[in-house]
Amino acid sequence: MEKKGNILMRKYEMGKVLGQGTFAKVHHARTLKSGSSVAIKIIDKEKIMKVGLIDQIKREISVMRLVKHPNVVQLYEVLASKSKIYFVMEYVRGGELFNKVAKGRLKEDAGRRYFQQLVAAVDFCHSRGVYHRDLKPENLLLDEHGSLKVTDFGLSALIDSKRHDGLLHTTCGTPAYVAPEVINNRGYDGVKADIWSCGVILFVLLAGYLPFHDSNLMEMYRKISRGDFRCPHWFPPEARKLLARILDPHPGSRINITKIMENSWFRKGFKYVESPVMEDLSDSSEAILDAVDSDSESCEEGAGTHYMNAFDLISMSAGFDLSGLFEEEGGGSHGRDHEWFTTREPPEMVVSRLEELASTESFRIRKKDGVVKMQGKKGGRKGQLGIDAEIFEVAPSFHMVEVKKSSGDTLEYVKFCDQELKPSLKDIVWSWEGNHPSP
C-alpha cells in the first residue's frame, strides 16, 4: 500500500485536498523529516494508461526537471506505486494570480512587477528549450512574499517536438490567451506563442478584463487573428506601445523577449534574479521513468529524458472547458446549454456519428468554420433547436468535443442531450464533463 494511515511512503503526512480533476488530485502535505509544506499531485495511473498518456506524464517530469527558476513552481520528487504517480512539488501559499485580478485591475507598478517576473521565468524556460503553451493567470501562483510562480507544465513542449519545418503543430492552450498562429493550425514558433500569451496577461493585469473577449468562440478567434483590441484610457502610453508590439498578430514582426526586457517601461524597478546552476540530468533520467512504468512501489527522485511534447491531460480539468471561460453579463456559461466530452476516436468518427443522429432525429446538418451545426426541422417553444459541436485536439489521439445550444429552448436541448445525444454516442465517449453528469 502506498499509504499507512495518512502517511505517504513514510515521507509525507497528507493533508487537505487543494484541487481535483478527472485524472488527478492535489493535496497539501507535510514533510515528516523537516515539517515543511509541499503540494502533492496524485495521478491515477490506470486512467492515464487507458488513454495512452503515460509517456506524456514522463514528458512533464522531463520538462519540470529542466526549469529550476525562482519564478517557476519546483518539482522536488516523483514517487510511484502500483496504482498512483505522485508529483511532490513546491507548495505556493498565496493562491492564483487570477484571484487577485478577479477583484479588479491592478495598479501599474503591481501589474508591471508580476509581468517582469513572468517574462523572466518564460525567458528562462525558453533558454532550456521549453515552451509553456498555456500561460494564463490561473497558471500563475503567488507565494507568501507576493512573488509570482509559473505552474502547470502539462501542455508544455520541448524543443524536440518541432517538426522538420522548425514549428510546433499541436493546437492547445486556453483560447483567450492563445496566439493567432496557434489557432490557424499552420504551425507556430513556441517562443513567439508564449510571448503573445504574456501580452494578454499584461493587458488583463492592467485592465481587469480580457483584450479579446466575445461570448461566441469563433468571433473571438477572428478578433485574435486580426489583433483587434483596444487599450483603456488609463493605460500609460509606454505600456500601450509595448502591448501593440507584443499583441502583433504577425509572429514574424512580433517583439522578442530580449527587446521586451530592454523596454523602458518594463525596466522600471526590474530586479534580475539569478537562477540556480542546473544539475546534469543525463545520467539520472532512467530511474524515475522506470518507476512510473513499474508495478512496484518506488521512491526515486525525479529526472527525465527529452521527449517530444508534454500533456498532463486535465490535472485540473476546468482548464480545458474551452468556451466556458467567458461569462456573459447577467449569467454564466456553465448551465445546461453547454457541455463537453472527451474521446479517443478521430474527428471523422465523431462527425459521422453526429450525421447519423441528425438523420434519425430530423435535424439538418452542415459544417462551417470548423463547427458541426445541427438545426432542427421542427419548431419548438422558442423556435427551431440549434446545436453546435466543435472538436479540439488535446493530444494526437485524444480529442475534446464542445456541445452547446445555439438557438431554441434550453429544456428541449437538455432533453435531447440526455435522451438522444448521450445514449447514441456512449460507445465513443471517454467521459462527459460539466456540472451535470450523463445519465
- The verdict on whether 134 is a catalytic residue reads yes
Asked whether 29 and 15 are in contact (CB, 8 A), the reply is yes
- Residues 106, 112: Cα–Cα separation, whole Å: 9
Cβ contacts of 322 within 8 Å, gap of 6 or more: 174, 175, 217, 340, 392, 400, 402
Chain centre to alpha carbon of residue 44: 19
- Ligand-binding annotation for 368, yes or no, is no
- Residues 437, 428: Cα–Cα separation, whole Å: 16
- Residues 1, 296: Cα–Cα separation, whole Å: 10
| Residue among 55, 109, 123, 134 flagged as catalytic | 134
Beta bridge partners of 141: 96, 149
Q: What is the CA radius of gyration of the chain?
A: 22
- Residues 143, 91: Cα–Cα separation, whole Å: 8
User: What letter would DSSP give residue 139?
Assistant: G
- Residues 94, 96: Cα–Cα separation, whole Å: 7
Backbone CA torsion sign across 186, 189, 194, 195 = negative
Measured from the Cβ of residue 165, the count of other Cβ atoms closer than 10 Å reads 9
* Residue of 213, 211, 434 lying closest to 328 (CA atoms): 213
- Residues 129, 269: Cα–Cα separation, whole Å: 28
Cβ contacts of 402 within 8 Å, gap of 6 or more: 217, 322, 323, 338, 340, 388, 389, 390, 391, 392
User: What letter would DSSP give residue 287?
Assistant: H
Q: Which residues are annotated as a binding site for ATP?
A: 41
Q: Which residues are annotated as a binding site?
A: 41
The set of catalytic residues is 134
